[in-house]
Amino acid sequence: MTPASGPPTVTGSASPPETRVLSGTAIAADIRQQVTADVEAFRRKHGYAPALAVLVLGPDPVFAVYVRQILRTCAGVGLEGREVRVPGRASPARVRRELAALNADAHVAGIIVQHPLPPSVPLRTVLDALEPAKDVDGVTPLNAGLVTLGYPAFAPATAQAAIEILERSGRALEGLHAVVIGRSRVVGRPVAQLLLRRHCTVTICHTRTRDLAGLTRQADVLVVAAGRPGLVTGAMLKPGAIVVDVGINVVDGRIVGDVDAASADGVAGAITPVPGGVGPVTNAVLVRHVIRAAELQAGTARRP
C-alpha cells in the first residue's frame, strides 16, 4: 500500500493499481490543531477551559485504555478531561444523579457515558438523563433524530470520523453508490444518514444480508462496521473502491479490522488502516464537538 499523498499509479498494464492508505493520523492532527486554537480563544474570552466528562460505570479494564486516550486528547488540545467513575454495581438512580450534576456544571461542555453499559443500567436511563446540549457523541434521541432529519446536530463521533476521512479522500462523494455494512445506532445508521446528506446513493447491509458480496461489489464507497474480523475480502470489492474499515477486533493478540487488508491491497483504490485509521479521527472529532458545544452553550456559535 502507498500513503494517501497522491493518486493511485499503474506502472504497467499487467501490474495491479496500488492501494492508497487513508491514514487517520494526519487528519486527526489537523483537526486537533484547529481545536487547540478554538479552545485557546474560548479560554481568553470566558476565563476557563471547557471540560469533557467521561462517566465510567464500574471497573472495566477492557475500556480503560480508550478512556485514557480520550483524556490525553483533551489535554493535548487544552480541554479539561474528567473521568467520573461510579465503582461497584451502578444503579439507575446513581447514574441519574451523576448525570444531573454534570448537566448542571457550567464548566462541563460535553458528557459521554462509556459503553457498553453494565446490565444493571438500562440504556433508557442514560438517554433520558443526559442533556442533549452536552451530548457530544450523539446518543440522545434528540440528536439522533436531528441527524436523521438532516438538521445540524452532534452525530456520533465514530460515524462523523468516517465521513471526515471520506471527504478528505480526494474523491467527490456526490452521486456515488455507498454501501454500509452495519446497522448500529452509533455507526452504521448515522453513517448512512450522513452519506445521504452528501448525495450518495446508500445501501445498508448487515451480517444477515443475503448475497453480501454481490452488493459490496457495486460499492464506490464501502464503510464496514460489523465487528466481524475479515468479513470483507478483496474478492468482494469493486476495483478502485474507497474502503473505510471501522472494525476493531483482537485476533491472536493483534488488532485487525473487518476488512482483510492483505486481499484488499491492489483492489481497493484507497483504504483506512487498522489501527491508525478511523480511531484517531474519532477522538479528534469528539474534542471538536466539545468545543463547539461549549461555544453553543456560551451563545457564541451557531449549531454544528
Establish if 7 belongs to a structural domain.
no
Residues 83 and 195 in one domain: no
Least confident residue range of 119-123, 175-179, 187-191, 266-270: 119-123
Reported confidence tier of residue 87, pLDDT bands at 50, 70, 90: confident
Q: What pLDDT, on a 0 to 100 scale, did the predictor assign at position 208?
A: 93
Residue 35 counted as domain residue: no
Closest CA to 290 of 141, 117, 70, 84: 70
Percent of the chain exceeding pLDDT 70 equals 91
Same domain, 173 and 123: no
User: Dihedral angle at the C-alpha atoms of 226, 228, 233, 238, nearest 10 degrees?
Assistant: 0
Print the SS3 string covering 192-214.
HHHHHHCCCEEEEECCCCCCHHH
Q: Is 50 within 8 Å of 294 (Cβ atoms)?
A: yes
168 and 275 in one domain? yes
Q: Residue 1 — pLDDT band, cuts 50, 70, 90? A: low
Q: Mean pLDDT over residues 27-36, rounded? A: 98
Residue 190 shares a structural domain with residue 273:
yes
User: Based on the domain organization, do 109 and 164 belong to the same domain?
Assistant: no
The confidence score (pLDDT) of residue 291 equals 98
> Residue 1 corresponds to which cell in the numbers above?
500500500
Which pLDDT does position 11 carry in this prediction?
40
Strand partners, 251: 254
Structural domain contains residue 176: yes
Q: pLDDT band for position 115 (50/70/90)? A: confident
Confidence of residue 187 (pLDDT cuts 50, 70, 90): very high
Domain total in the chain:
2
Residue-level pLDDT at 13 = 46
Does residue 246 sit in the same domain as residue 160? yes
pLDDT tier for residue 9 given thresholds of 50, 70 and 90: very low
Query: Could you tell me the residue range of the domain that residue 109 belongs to?
Result: 48-132
Q: Are 121 and 160 members of one domain?
A: no
Residue 15 binned pLDDT confidence (cut-offs 50, 70, 90): low
pLDDT digits (tens, 9 = 90+) for 266-302: 999 999 999 999 999 999 999 999 999 999 999 866 6
259 lies in some domain: yes
Mean pLDDT, range 102-117, rounded to an integer: 95
* Inside any domain, residue 288: no
Q: What is the mean pLDDT of the chain?
A: 92
pLDDT value at residue 90: 87
Asked whether residue 16 carries a pLDDT value surpassing 80, the answer given is: no
Look at 158 and 18; give whichever has higher pLDDT.
158
Helix, strand counts (H, E) of the chain: 10, 12
- Statement to judge: residues 181 and 273 lie in one domain: yes
- The CATH number of residue 115's host domain is 3.40.50.10860
Do 189 and 238 reside in the same domain of the chain?
Answer: yes
Q: Decide if 146 is inside a domain.
A: no
Question: Is residue 125 located within the same domain as residue 241?
Answer: no
**224 and 264 both lie in a single domain:** yes
pLDDT over threshold 50, residue 260? yes
- What are 197-226's pLDDT values in tens digits? 999 999 999 989 999 999 999 999 999 999
Task: For residues 173 and 251, state if they share a domain.
Answer: yes
- The whole-number pLDDT of residue 207 equals 87
Nearest to 138 by CA among 24, 289, 31, 28: 289
- Nearest residue to 264 via CA among 22, 19, 21, 24: 19
Distances from the Cα of 15 to the Cαs of 11, 77, 233, 264, 271, in angstroms? 6, 44, 20, 15, 19
Domain termination site, one of 132, 167, 187: 132
Residue 162: pLDDT over 80: yes
Would you say residue 14 has pLDDT above 50?
A: no
Q: Does the residue 243 lie in any domain?
A: yes
Domain CATH code at residue 248: 3.40.50.720
Closest CA to 162 of 202, 196, 190: 190
User: Among 5, 23, 20, which Cα is nearest to 268's?
Assistant: 20
Q: For position 89, what pLDDT does the model report?
A: 84
Poorest-pLDDT segment among 64-68, 127-131, 179-183, 275-279:
64-68
Pick 161 or 7 by higher pLDDT.
Answer: 161
- CA distances (Å), 169 to each of 1, 22, 240, 266, 270, in order? 15, 7, 12, 17, 8
CB 54 within 8 A of CB 36: no
Whether 274 is covered by a domain: the verdict is yes
pTM above 0.75, yes or no: yes
